[in-house]
Structure 1
Amino acid sequence: MTATSDLPSLTRTQKAAAILVALGKPAAGRLLKFFKQDELRALMDGARELRTIPQAELERIVAEFEAEFAEGAGLLDSADTMGTIFSETLTPEEMTALMNDGPIETATDEPKPIWPQLEQIEPARVGAFLTNEHPQAAAFALSKLAPSFAAQVMIVLDKAVRGEIVKRMLALNPASPTAVAMMEAHVRAALIEDDSGKAASGAQMRVASVLNELDKSQLDEVMDDLASAGAVNLDAIRAQLFAFEDIVFLDQKARVTLFDGIAADIVTLALRNAGAELTEAILSAQGARARRMIEAELKADPGNVSANDINKARKQIASTAIRLAGEGALQLPQTQEAA
């Protein structure tokens, strides 16, 4: 294979692909950013068709482009090398679009939309922030949030300002782009980019997850100890706590939501040795047929049922309540009392 016979057989795209491979990943990667989408696809196609290129032929190609390259070995597996350059230079989205003939979306420095991020923060913290804002600004912020999350925030708003905020939401007009940008920047700085606040929130969640593993009597004792020790943010921690015995404090709608997906045998096991008030609160949330079945099981001989099994069933129900509260499907008793 001679240079004179083989060189003309290469297309201009193949020659460009050969030069990029010769440049190496760092330099080639920088150059790829200047190519258009159709050019990138053509380069990939050209690289797939490249054969082994001797050094002499590579030098002729380089001479055609009037560039100077250092000496190197002949090129092997050009398609694989080009593929590696692409995959290590382009983003996964760009690479997927390139291989699937879809539009390439280039990355931007624009921040992510703020309102979905805000919905990942505890409602109590968002409510405390909005309470100290102008009612018009608070009304605008609530209007940008998902209804389920906005409702959770509204419940924990200070009663002195809640009415004024809701009144302004009813008469809210579109805000100017400048006002929207200023409000979003303010919220981002105060809630999204406040690392100390996020760290505190995470610490509260970790403490709450530990405390939720305790029995009711143990939980009350630990919370009293924390209060005596002067622990801060106890209200935020308390808002994430829920024990099986707290079911009596849920309203009827919340109880029905809680037990909608819990099997009757779990409910029966959890009700073993439960007090009359708690038992009735749970049975009232059952359908007529399920209630009759559970009541019949409770009257029958339970057999070899351990206290540990009963506690496991109760913790499963309590954990379900905490999960549903996190999803906005119901409110835990502490949140209800705060309203």
Structure 2
Amino acid sequence: MAEATPEAVQATEETTEQEKEKMTAIRKVAAFIVAIGQQTASEIYKHLSDEEVEKISIEISRIDSLSQDSIRDIMDEFYELFIAQKVVAEGGQEYSLSVLMNAFGKEKAKMLMERIQSANRAFEFLRDVDYKSILTTLQNELPQTIALVLSHINSKKSAQIIAELPEDVQIEVFKRIADLDSTSQQVIRGVEEMIHEKLSSVSSVGEVEFGGVNYLADVMNNLDTRTEKSIMEELDVSDPELVEEIRKKMFTFDDIVFLDNREIQTFLRECDQKDLTVALKGAGAEVKDVIMSNMSQRQQETIRTDLQYLHNVRMRDVEDAQRAIIDTIRRLEEAGEIVMSKGGMDEIIP
């Protein structure tokens, strides 16, 4: 066999470098999927959305051929990212950087840390900014811009901002948040740069998932009842299906009837007696009966006496008390002590 000439070797190396430069993220994923084989690929597909599978499949169909060097580089890149993510997940930043430096060297370790951490940086600078300042920044922005920003901050702060927006803007923002799924780094960076003029700046790389109905339901649970009702009524006119989806995800005071007796007794032990009395003052008969039936006889008598002498209670006070109880239930759910469900919509295995 004839030995390759220096010119041929150089041409091959140049072709490989050109392949690397042309590689988009989705093409790298497609090449990786092809390289690992059908059986393993099918297992990965099970964890992807239909849209992701479609994009990858289209890209796979476009792959004609790749050099062995390109395939090796792609496999190495995925392996390095996998190791980096695992290390970052299991240890702190200093520990992670130290381990990665020992494994890959200083420069590559820094690059991997940057890639892993950058996806979580979108609008990170807003974490410690009070909602009033954010509201002032967003007041004259388009609904889609407001939705993008609110989807990256915690739901309680989002609720505070939404509550002070004009009603017509509230509705548009909710619609936009519902439609959000992911966005490119260019779009996020553009919005961040705009906000940077008044607050701060932060870089962002990659795609970030956010928004959607689950996020909206969380925001709704943090809104005051009046704002929540107004938004839901307006949305119901233009998009009743969205309203139904949001309601399925929300947990309200009336949904306490769907908790089992043990869970009701668990949160009752954590509730403030005054909040409970005020909350029951404005509760419906069904939820009131369910709660009272899970109290001791002595506690029932105390609550009934308190209710008897409780007059002229403002609806806002009732709503605040009920929300305090819902917050207690949510805290217990996060601790794994109870499971919140709505009329069997969540399948629970006893």
Band of TM-score, shorter chain: 0.3 to 0.5
Q: Which has the larger radius of gyration?
A: 1
TM-score of the aligned structures, taking structure 2 as reference length: 0.36
